[in-house]
Structure 1
Amino acid sequence: MTNAPLSPPPSRFSSARFYSPAASIGLAAPLVAALVIGFLYPVLRLVALSFSGGTLDHYRRIFAEPLHVDVLLSTVLVALVVTVASLLLGFPVAYLMARLSKGLAMAAAACVFIPLWTSVLIRSYAWVVLLQRNGIVNKLLVETGVTEGPLKLIYTQGAVILAMTHVLMPFMILPIYSALRALPADYVRAARNLGAGPLRAFVAVTLPLSLPGVFAGSVMCFVLALGFYITPALVGGPSSMLMATLIGQQTTVLLDWPFAAALSTVLLAITLLFVLLFRKTLSLSKGLNSVY
């Protein structure tokens, strides 16, 4: 009886043996072409348009006029506040969903998904109905005697933050829920058996292991908040202008496309900078957790 030669153990790259380099390139070519045509080419055209005339005049104009700098800082500040508010409100919801049974967790997930499937325009108009001068909130405040007359709730920065938090909170809840759901219950049980209380077990075990979900949700909320257009335009009005509103004004009203391209390029650079900072913070967090 002859002994058959032992085959090497399969590796995760073993499937590459079945395809020649030409076949591999052919399989990847449609995806690369779609990425180049649908993303890379428009971005490069946008950046090239911002340097119209071969000068930096459009960028100098952004930082020379206080209005544009104020709008840029206000956009970043609103995005940060919305991200923090979404985290503070969304983490308890995700934690509760992770601790529920499978059936109740599915029902809670449906409650999160249904608003996500609803159009942003409809949700923004709903906040206009709630917060307007004769809206439900003002009527409730007047009828209960909390205020003598209707308050100015709509067309304020607070209304913009409230509406944007409501729209973006599912993007914070779902990544955190996925991270918490994948966390083995034995870890928390072991911490409790070693003498840790519920708060100590949460701070020492649950919270650090949920940080990948927290960072993923924070990145999505922050990036989406930077480019939000519909909700600030409807709920905030002219008094609450963000970068997306300013860019839309430059393209549709003033028809100043090179300056709008410069504004978009600056916003894109800020977005990439914050994404890199989030990734760096996440890597540091993993390093600190590995020490303990």
Structure 2
Amino acid sequence: MTIATLPAEPGELPPPAARGRRVAGWLLLPGTAILLVFFFYPLAFIVWRSVSEPEFGFSHYLALLDDGVSVVVLLRTLWTALLVGLCTLVIAYPYAYAMTRVGPKARGILLLLVLLPFWTSVMARNFAWYLLEQRGGVIDRAFAALGVNDVVLLGTVVGVTVAMVQVMLPFMVLPLYSAMSTIDGKLLDAATSLGAPRHRAFRTVYLPLSLPGVISGFSLVFILTLGFYITPALLGSPQEALISQVIETRVSDLTDFAGGGALGGVLLVVTLLVLFAVSRIARPVASLSRAVDHA
């Protein structure tokens, strides 16, 4: 039997659920207003300028396909973001796994090492890489001692990738650790006790359960790398420029706000496509993870 809720009489307090929704709406109002004023409005203004100057149309977007340079830069940016994501995943996965297998004190030290870069300025870290990668730097001297001369990473995509991997590594470790910390380590012991080799138990049990962390960490690093500016600007070169450098050049040096806005619009579309692909991939992965967990 259900009991109908009578509407509140004038002067009476609304039901608790209605009050809770009303309070939640007021709490969301400041954050929503900040996003609208400082994020969505500038973004909409940039996109509007890219299609309205000097006249309404998509001439700036079509010009990106005709000049040849913008397509090459976009492909280089996508390749760099993919490479950074894969390198950080290879380094961060065993590190995050080790964080779940050690004791509380060792885990605290490993977590401190991950969070330590957040306490250091990004500019300071990039200038440190500048000194390491320049001609006569530590990397050049180390390879010279091994008999390989003129290993100068400064101004190359490899140098930018190495530095960005170090900058983006915490953004991969933390989602991985968050996902792995919820996995019961006894599942691997149970699989090995049933006769499965250790590597097979890891591949068929532990890896599917950790895939949500892999997807979230990789997508976060990939999207951040697409629009990252400081590291490519300091360690890259005009010949190996990424899309953020080209946008800055168009806006600051050429005062081509519409063209820069078109490049920003393309980058926004690519980011949205990546998020859409991640959401499509994450659904079956989450279902697989739940199936393995219940098995």
Q: Normalising to structure 1: TM-score of the pair?
A: 0.89
Structure 1 residue 186 displacement after superposition? 2.5
| 2:96–2:176 contact (8 Å) kept in structure 1 | yes
Report the AA paired with residue 95 of structure 1.
Answer: Y
- Choose which of 126, 129, 147 in structure 2 pairs with 1:127: 129
Q: Structure 1 unaligned segments of length 5 or more: list them.
A: 1-5, 7-13
| 1:175–1:217 contact (8 Å) kept in structure 2 | yes
> Which deviates more from structure 2 when the two are superposed, residues 133-142 or residues 98-107?
133-142
**1:273 is the counterpart of 2:270:** no
**1:146 is the counterpart of 2:184:** no
| 2:180–2:210 contact (8 Å) kept in structure 1 | yes
Structure 1 residue 151 displacement after superposition? 2.3
| 1:116–1:167 contact (8 Å) kept in structure 2 | no
Equivalent residues, number: 277
Report the AA paired with residue 60 of structure 1.
Answer: L
Question: Equivalent residue for 2:9?
Answer: none
Mapped to 2, the partners of 1:230 and 1:26 lie a distance apart of 37
CA spacing shift, 1:290–1:154, aligned 2, 3 Å = same
**1:227 is the counterpart of 2:227:** yes
Mapped to 2, the partners of 1:221 and 1:31 lie a distance apart of 25
| 1:82–1:225 contact (8 Å) kept in structure 2 | yes
Mapped to 2, the partners of 1:24 and 1:181 lie a distance apart of 31
Question: Equivalent residue for 1:262?
Answer: 262
Question: Equivalent residue for 2:85?
Answer: 83
Structure 1 residue 20 displacement after superposition? 7.2
> Which deviates more from structure 2 when the two are superposed, residues 167-176 or residues 229-238?
229-238
The sequence identity of aligned pairs, in percent, is 35
Mapped to 2, the partners of 1:141 and 1:163 lie a distance apart of 18
Structure 1 residue 291 displacement after superposition? 5.7
Question: Equivalent residue for 2:214?
Answer: 214
Runs of 4+ in 1 over 6 A off after TM superposition: none
1:111-132 CA distance string (max 9 Å, x none): 1111233222111111111111
1:270-290 CA distance string (max 9 Å, x none): 011011101111112233455
CA spacing shift, 1:285–1:260, aligned 2, 3 Å = same
Mapped to 2, the partners of 1:291 and 1:214 lie a distance apart of 18
Structure 1 residue 182 displacement after superposition? 1.4
CA spacing shift, 1:58–1:185, aligned 2, 3 Å = same
Mapped to 2, the partners of 1:24 and 1:171 lie a distance apart of 30
> Which deviates more from structure 2 when the two are superposed, residues 190-199 or residues 60-69?
190-199
Mapped to 2, the partners of 1:195 and 1:152 lie a distance apart of 51
- Choose which of 105, 108, 114 in structure 2 pairs with 1:103: 105
CA spacing shift, 1:192–1:120, aligned 2, 3 Å = same
Question: Equivalent residue for 1:59?
Answer: 61
CA spacing shift, 1:182–1:167, aligned 2, 3 Å = same
Structure 1 residue 204 displacement after superposition? 1.2
CA spacing shift, 1:25–1:231, aligned 2, 3 Å = closer
Q: Any idea what SS the aligned residue of 1:228 has?
A: coil
Structure 1 residue 134 displacement after superposition? 0.7
Q: Any idea what SS the aligned residue of 2:238 has?
A: coil
1:159-211 CA distance string (max 9 Å, x none): 11111111111100111011111111222222122222221121111111111
Q: Structure 2 unaligned segments of length 5 or more: list them.
A: 4-14
CA spacing shift, 1:278–1:138, aligned 2, 3 Å = same
- Choose which of 126, 137, 140 in structure 1 pairs with 2:139: 137
| 2:187–2:205 contact (8 Å) kept in structure 1 | yes
1:233-267 CA distance string (max 9 Å, x none): 11112222000000011111111111111110110
Q: Any idea what SS the aligned residue of 2:231 has?
A: helix
Mapped to 1, the partners of 2:206 and 2:58 lie a distance apart of 49
CA spacing shift, 1:18–1:25, aligned 2, 3 Å = closer
CA spacing shift, 1:113–1:253, aligned 2, 3 Å = same
Cα RMSD of the aligned pairs, angstroms, is: 1.9
Structure 1 residue 25 displacement after superposition? 4.1
